[in-house]
Amino acid sequence: MSESTRIQDLPRVLVVGGGFGGIATARRLARSRVQVGLIDRRNHHLFQPLLYQVATAALNPSDIAVPIRRIFRRQRNVTVALGGVEEVDLQHRRIRVDDEEWVRYDYLVLAAGATHSYFGRDDWAELAPGLKTIEDSTEIRRRFLLAFEAAELENDPEARAACLTFVVVGAGPTGCELAGAMAEIARQEMPPDFRHVDTATARIILVQSGDRVLPQMSEQCSEAAKRQLEKLGVEIRLNSRVTHVEEGGVTCGEDFIAANNVFWAAGVKASPLGESLGVELDSRGRVVVGSDLSVPGHPEVFVIGDQAAAIDAKTGEPVPGVAQGAMQGGDFVGRLIAAELRAEQDGKSPPLRGAFTYFDKGSMATLGRNKAVADAFGVKLAGFPAWAAWAVVHVIFLVSFRSKVAVAFNWMWTYFFDSRGVRLITGNSKLELKAPPDLD
């Protein structure tokens, strides 16, 4: 009997999503007698915490993404499939892929992640792109860099000011990091490259509905982040909610901000795949799971990462939707499935399932060169020490060795030469000017 035939006879675990949680689950099952099918709409695993650096021209997309097949090239019990899962049939233990094929499972792990939430105003998506995919990052980069090209040639003062005004909605980690990087580029890197416009006059406005930036971190770190962002020239508007987005600007309360570029970092919602389960969802569309991360009434189905509304069994607090939570959840579910299958194959009763506990390794956010905040294990850092810690941690957690080397090299180049090597405008580069220059 061939190896492939033997694998096909083994129980089947389907993992939906090649993010942090899905990858962790499949890796944990490496030595188990099981066939693992990993399905994702993309062929690559994306290191989302560094996606904003693609958007701000510090890194290439290939620096933070690696083909999923390459990750599992030596794990013989994993089959990778490119496709979108449209529906889950809990009763018959099967999933529908790309509106065509039904695939059965013995265990199912949903790790499909999350997408942007515009709080019922999805019509804003085209005007205010979010940051979740490589396509999102290159589009934001295109709009950001194109704005300076337009300002260089624009003769109308008001139109030039609108070109150089950027509004970032949401002051969580993504919003703060994006705003800080944009301010740093405009004031420190770009000025020598332009002849007719002072890029240092660009306005980067960070809008936050709450009373502080980085609300998930300590007040001390939040205040330190605010000071560092303001030192970079970022205008921070707290207790300010965006009520309307239109071509040419945003409305915050009663104030209209004329801005040609608006970027969204205000909220996320879970993948709509959870809706097909017919089980309880929370206000963000996440599946309410049991203490073992399984779907109530269906112990063979698990939901992890951003798609799950999970509670830490130790603290009773919600598990945050961050990379470390997804990885820990994936590892937990992988160990649980492996233990149950091993018991079944040995003719023993399955072990009692434990409850998932989340180990908080802390939070970090970088705001610019030598500017960052970190809150880990009771230690709070700001400035260069936090920035250095942030850089080391993020390089360590990149999946491939190639990515580690590429990212570290690019960061060193940018740090010592103050030059971002990926300032490339791709896609549509047509300029729309109110008062074009007279080039005759």
> Interhelix angle for 401-417 vs 384-397, to 10°?
150
Give me the DSSP letters along 294-324.
EETTEEEEEE-GGGEE-B-TTT-SBPPSSHH
Strands 65-67 and 44-46: antiparallel
Catalytic residue among 100, 126, 158, 177: 177
Distance (Å, whole) CA 15 – CA 28: 12
Neighbours of 115 (CB within 10 A): 17
Distance (Å, whole) CA 271 – CA 430: 34
* Non-local CB neighbours of 440 within 8 Å, separated by 6+ positions: none
Distance (Å, whole) CA 5 – CA 241: 58
Strand partners, 373: 365, 382
**Cβ distance 319 to 360 under 8 Å?**
no
Q: Is 250 exposed, middle or buried (0-12, 13-18, 19+ CB in 10 A)?
A: buried
Strands 371-376 and 363-368: antiparallel
Annotated active-site residue 3? The verdict is no
Distance (Å, whole) CA 232 – CA 371: 9
Residue type, 245: V
Distance (Å, whole) CA 219 – CA 332: 31
| Catalytic positions | 177
